[in-house]
């Protein structure tokens, strides 16, 4: 079996005297459905920033598919197969969903150096965009402009855009945050349709989603890993209940 899609080895990050990430070791399996949870301020966003290359660690390593990327830029990491959900403001609001996906695909093919003749290229992009949307159950949105979509639908399109990069690893940073519960259900369904060969790491406060979606869970507390295990391990762990699940009032 090839190297895990994503590995963190002894990651450590300090801001001045404050250690925000403490000796984090994590390995995402092929096709992982892995959730990272923890109370506010546990260091989840910092860890994502270390993985994507927005921040450099004070010590430790990040590897993508066995390649050490610790010193590489965010862009290089994306090219090696690390995608995160795009922010909504990166969508072209006046273009349709299909056009947005088409542009992301065009950028990827351009990067791959696989630019063919214009007409053939356009047809191939349209077909690939449609296929990607169909896989996610979003084909009915293809012709809609982003500025006509509800917030939850825009978040679905962000995920489709990230997948257009054909990543090995997909990072989802609070995919249902701010999404009304009626739309959240649709987002759940989309997450269940993510391609099996993509390893997914989700940071999420919504425990219903975490327990439904994830196969493994890592609990972060004060920058370090408290425990990692299966959903049932985490549900029954008394320490997790104390530090996290007991605090359901968490925003
Ligand atoms: N640039 C920075 N400089 C100094 N301290 C920082 C910086 N970024 C984050 N921190 C601190 O690091 C700790 C972890 O923050 P982080 O945002 O990673 O936590 P989090 O688990 O994502 O929290 P939340 O669930 O509230 O989003 C916090 O104490 C925060 O104040």
Q: Are residues 231 and 247 in the same domain?
A: yes
- Residue 109's pLDDT is 72
In the predicted structure, residue 81 carries a pLDDT above the cut 60: yes
Residues in Cβ contact with 225 at an 8 Å cutoff, skipping those fewer than 6 apart: 24, 25, 26, 218, 219
Q: Are residues 160 and 36 in the same domain?
A: no
Domain limits at 128?
90-166
136 CB under 6 A from ligand 1?
no
Q: Are residues 183 and 201 in the same domain?
A: yes
In the predicted structure, residue 87 carries a pLDDT above the cut 90: no
- CATH number assigned to the domain comprising residue 207: 3.40.50.300
Are 7 and 63 a contacting pair, CB within 8 Å?
yes
> Of 141, 166, 191, at which residue does a domain stop?
166
- Residue 192's pLDDT is 87
What percentage of the chain exceeds 90 in pLDDT? 55
Q: Are residues 7 and 108 in the same domain?
A: no
Task: For Cα atoms 64, 88, 36, give the angle at the middle one, nearest 5 degrees.
Answer: 45
In the predicted structure, residue 243 carries a pLDDT above the cut 70: yes
Q: Are residues 97 and 155 in the same domain?
A: yes
CA of 48 to the centre of ligand 1 (A): 11
CA of 17 to the centre of ligand 1 (A): 14
Task: Give the CA diameter of the chain.
Answer: 61
- Residue 113's pLDDT is 47
- Residue 172's pLDDT is 92
- Residue 248's pLDDT is 47
Backbone angles phi, psi at 199, to 5 degrees: -80, 130
d(C-alpha 131, C-alpha 148), whole Å? 22
- Residue 112's pLDDT is 52
Q: Are residues 4 and 118 in the same domain?
A: no
- Residue 205's pLDDT is 79
Whole-number mean pLDDT of the chain? 87
Q: Are residues 131 and 192 in the same domain?
A: no
d(C-alpha 130, C-alpha 102), whole Å? 9
In the predicted structure, residue 2 carries a pLDDT above the cut 90: no
d(C-alpha 214, C-alpha 36), whole Å? 9
Q: Are residues 5 and 73 in the same domain?
A: yes
pLDDT (tens digit per residue) in 92-147: 999 999 989 988 888 777 655 455 566 667 778 888 888 889 988 899 999 999 99
| Domain count along the chain | 2
> Of 106, 135, 166, at which residue does a domain stop?
166
Residue nearest to atom 10 of ligand 1 (CA): 20
Quick one: average pLDDT of 45-56?
A: 95
In the predicted structure, residue 202 carries a pLDDT above the cut 60: yes
Residue nearest to atom 8 of ligand 1 (CA): 46
44 CB under 6 A from ligand 1?
yes
- Residue 191's pLDDT is 87
Strand partners, 216: 34, 230
pLDDT (tens digit per residue) in 182-198: 887 788 788 888 999 99
Q: Are residues 3 and 120 in the same domain?
A: no
- Residue 251's pLDDT is 39
> Of 145, 166, 187, at which residue does a domain stop?
166
Are 161 and 101 a contacting pair, CB within 8 Å?
yes
13 CB under 6 A from ligand 1?
no
In the predicted structure, residue 246 carries a pLDDT above the cut 70: no
Full-model pTM: 0.88
Q: Are residues 160 and 173 in the same domain?
A: no
């Amino acid at each position: 079996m090839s190297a895990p899609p994503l590995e963190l080895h002894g990651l450590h990050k300090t801001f001045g005297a404050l250690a925000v990430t403490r000796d984090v070791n994590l390995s995402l399996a092929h096709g992982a459905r892995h959730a990272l949870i923890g109370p506010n301020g546990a260091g989840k966003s910092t860890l994502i920033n270390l993985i994507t290359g927005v921040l450099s660690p004070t010590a430790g390593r990040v590897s993508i598919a066995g390649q050490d990327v610790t010193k590489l830029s965010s862009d290089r990491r994306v090219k090696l197969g690390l995608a995160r959900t795009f922010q909504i403001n990166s969508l072209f609001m006046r273009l349709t969903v299909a056009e947005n996906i088409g542009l992301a695909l065009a950028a990827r093919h351009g990067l791959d150096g696989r630019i063919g003749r214009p007409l053939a290229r356009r047809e191939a992009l349209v077909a690939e965009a449609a296929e990607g949307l169909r896989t996610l159950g979003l084909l009915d949105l293809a012709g809609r402009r982003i500025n006509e979509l509800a917030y939850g639908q825009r978040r679905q399109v962000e995920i489709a855009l990230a997948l257009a990069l054909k990543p090995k690893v997909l990072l989802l940073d609070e995919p249902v945050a701010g999404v009304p519960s009626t739309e959240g259900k649709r987002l759940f369904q989309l997450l269940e349709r993510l391609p099996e060969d993509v390893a997914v790491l989700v940071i999420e406060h919504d425990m219903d989603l975490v327990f439904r979606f994830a196969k493994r869970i890592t609990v972060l507390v004060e920058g370090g890993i408290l425990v990692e295990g299966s959903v049932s391990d985490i549900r029954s762990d008394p320490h997790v209940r104390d530090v996290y699940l007991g605090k359901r009032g968490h925003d």
